[in-house]
Amino acid sequence: MSLISLDIGTSGMRAVVYGLDGQKKENTYFEYHSEFPQPGYVEQNPESWKEAAIYCLSNIAPFFNGEDVPQAIAVTSQRSSLIPMKDGQPMRNAIMWQDKRTVPQCEKLIEEYTLEGLYTKAGLRTNPYFVLPKILWLKENQYDIYVNAEKFIGVQDLVVHYLIGQYKTDYSQACRTMLMNIETFTWDPDLLRIAGITEEKLPELVPPGSIAGGLLREIAEKTGLAEDIPVIISGGDQQNAAVALGVIKPGRAEANTGTGSFVISAIDKPVFDEDARVLCQASAIAGQWIMEAGIFNTGATYRWFKEQFCTDIQDRKNIYDIMNDEAAASPIGSNGVIMIPHFEGSAAPYWNPLAKGVFFNLSLNTKRGDMIRSIMEGIAVEINDDIGLMEEITSPIEMVSVAGGMVHSDLFCKIQANVYDKKVARYANSEASSLGAAMIAAVTLGVYKNIEEAYANMLRDKPQIFNPNEEEVIQSEVIIRRKHKLYQALNDQDAYKFFA
């Protein structure tokens, strides 16, 4: 017996076949790209997700035979993007989660409703990251779309609608809209009033792990899968990753580095930071919560550097291995090069949508490997800021589980251990979101009675532990101090506003 996890990322979609013991049996991947129509705008053609879903499911289908059929398709996805729909079709490109066009709308929201007032209701800091400001931007700039849209949905909701023909979403996705009450897990009347929409304009809200419906006949025919296979909404990709990495009870954190990085810790009740720097979110485990801090561009910065500055090795299949080897040849501190990963603004802890990416202290002696290593160190320092912030609010974190494409690099894992001054655990399956989705689906289907039992039975491999090195921790503290001073100097002198 097997499950299919359909993991809808920002850079691509992945379908993975898991056994009920958590063994990864087969997988396929479809890459796509966002569009950048003007500075601060990040969009994507919704058709790319439909094309990717058909491609991934079609390429997975031949794995199955009469004796082994998928018990369900578990869908997990990126969050916080907006797609207006009419007659079952997107009305425009999706406005993506990294998009920054809604700074004016956010400023108006804060002025009228206060940062604290919105944060304690939705669990979110008012920021272009989220969906409510995007809806208000449509109202002010594309009114015909705003007023004629039948539904406002996200990426997961689009793919689920494509698979089953119904509009449904779950708590862990809805909590990223600024339209759901984080304490009651319901669409909030006051927040809907601010958006100027009714509940009917949004998908049906269900707990994560719900069976949304059965696979449509037309999709079954296109993919070669059976009609009416249950489609389970497993929820947000980062919440699912947290489940697979064991962040299901307080005291442990995970750092998942894909296109962006997300730091998550489990909490047993809603918790709020007095400065609204970290988010209170719905867990992928129905009825539970997480604390979350996100960084917009981390792995995306690494890929950007590959595409722009590694053209001489672009055709090599092991291009990232080559880049990692070049980075390893650079010493701790990257020969003085400092990288700030704010290429599309900053989320936690600074929440500065005007911030920009920086490579600082370059010289004629700087090598490409120095810059590559500085990307790794810059990402780790930013993640460390968020880990420290969570510890201030809740309790000490002893170990950080890591996942995502960049953690294939031993060097990056060692850098993280030294910057965090904590043990870092890397599991064999670095694609934690898809595994977490499979765990949640297994509980839904009654294979396991709860997520703890699913975790115990579906995550059998022992993680590789990277321990901090005392001398390198001290050297890493210097990197942290320098990065903080550089950011503060730029921000305090309004350097970012000068280029806005």
3-state DSSP of the chain:
CEEEEEEECCCEEEEEEEECCCCEEEEEEEECCCECCCCCCCEECCHHHHHHHHHHHHHHHHHCECCECEEEEEEEECCCCEEEEECCEECCCEECCCCCCCHHHHHHHHHHHCHHHHHHHHCCCCCCCCHHHHHHHHHHHCHHHHHHCCEEECHHHHHHHHHHCCCEEEHHHHCCCCCEECCCCEECHHHHHHHCCCHHHCCEEECCCEEEEECCHHHHHHHCCCCCCEEEEEEEHHHHHHHHCCCCCCCCEEEEECCCEEEEEEECCCCCCCCCCCEEEECCCCCCEEEEEEECCCHHHHHHHHHHHCHHHCCCCCHHHHHHHHHHCCCCCHHHCEEECCECEECCCCCECCCCCEEECCCCCCCHHHHHHHHHHHHHHHHHHHHHHHHHHCCCCCEEEEECHHHHCHHHHHHHHHHHCCEEEECCCCCHHHHHHHHHHHHHCCCCCCHHHHHHHHCCCCCEEECCCHHHHHHHHHHHHHHHHHHHHHHHCCHHHHCC
Residue with tokens 């320098």: 482
**192 and 253 share one domain:** no
**Of 176, 209, 227, the domain-final residue:** 227
In a domain, residue 58? The reply is yes
Give bridge partners of residue 152 from the DSSP assignment: 84
Task: Say if 311 falls within a structural domain.
Answer: yes
Give CA–CA dist 254/93, Å, rounded.
32
* CA nearest to 369, candidates 413, 328, 316: 328
Same domain, 47 and 74: yes
- The answer to the question of residue 276 being in a domain is yes
End-of-domain residue from the set 227, 249, 273: 227
Q: Burial-class residue 59 by CB neighbours within 10 Å (0-12, 13-18, 19+).
A: middle
Q: Report the interhelical angle of 410-420 vs 470-492 (nearest 10°).
A: 80
Q: Provide the pLDDT for residue 431.
A: 79
Tokens representing residue 166 in the block: 């119904």
Q: Tell me: do 424 and 487 sit in the same domain.
A: yes
Say if 232 falls within a structural domain.
Answer: no
Q: What confidence score (pLDDT) does residue 67 get?
A: 67
Same domain, 183 and 268: no
d(CA 464, CA 315): 31
Which of left, alpha, beta for 88 (phi over 0: left; psi -120 to 50: alpha)?
A: left
If asked whether residues 389 and 281 sit together in one domain, one would say yes
pLDDT reported for residue 240: 95
- Whichever domain contains 482, its CATH number is 3.30.420.40
b/e for 141-156, b at 16 or more Cβ within 10 A?
eeeeebeebebbbbbb
| CB atoms near residue 315 (< 10 Å) | 7
Identify the domain boundary among 187, 205, 227: 227
Q: Domain count for the chain, please give it.
A: 2
Is it true that the peptide bond before 270 is cis, omega within 30 degrees of 0?
no
Question: Cβ of 352: how many Cβ atoms within 10 Å?
Answer: 16
Do 378 and 437 lie in a common domain?
Answer: yes
Q: Which residues span the domain enclosing 19? A: 2-227
From the list 423, 418, 391, 422, the residue with the least C-alpha distance to 479 is 418
CA distances from 288 to 130, 239, 294 (A): 21, 11, 19
Kindly give, in sequence order, each residue whose CB lies less than 8 Å from that of residue 92, ignoring residues fewer than 6 positions away: 83, 84, 142, 145
Can you tell me the distance from the alpha carbon of 326 to that of 371, in angstroms, rounded to the nearest whole number? 9
Residue 104 domain-assigned? Answer: yes
Residues 249 and 381 in one domain: yes
96 within domain boundaries? yes
Q: Are 27 and 17 in contact (CB under 8 A)?
A: yes
In a domain, 207, yes or no: yes
Within-domain flag for 29: yes
404 and 321 co-located in one domain: yes
Taking only the tens of pLDDT, the chain with its 500 residues reads: 899 999 999 989 999 999 999 999 999 999 999 999 999 899 999 999 999 999 999 999 999 876 678 999 999 999 999 999 999 999 999 999 989 999 999 999 999 999 999 999 999 999 998 999 999 999 999 999 999 999 999 999 999 999 999 999 999 999 999 999 999 999 999 999 999 999 999 999 999 999 999 999 999 999 999 999 999 999 999 899 999 988 988 878 999 898 889 899 988 889 999 899 999 999 999 999 999 998 988 999 999 999 999 999 988 889 999 999 999 999 999 999 999 999 988 988 898 989 999 999 999 999 999 999 999 999 999 999 999 999 988 888 889 999 888 999 999 999 999 999 999 999 887 778 999 999 999 999 999 999 999 999 998 778 899 999 999 999 999 999 999 999 999 999 999 988 76
201 and 275 inside one domain = no
Residues 278 and 218 in one domain: no
Is there a single domain that holds both residue 182 and residue 242? no
Q: How far apart are CA 39 and CA 470, in angstroms?
A: 43
Q: Do residue 82 and residue 177 come from a single domain?
A: yes
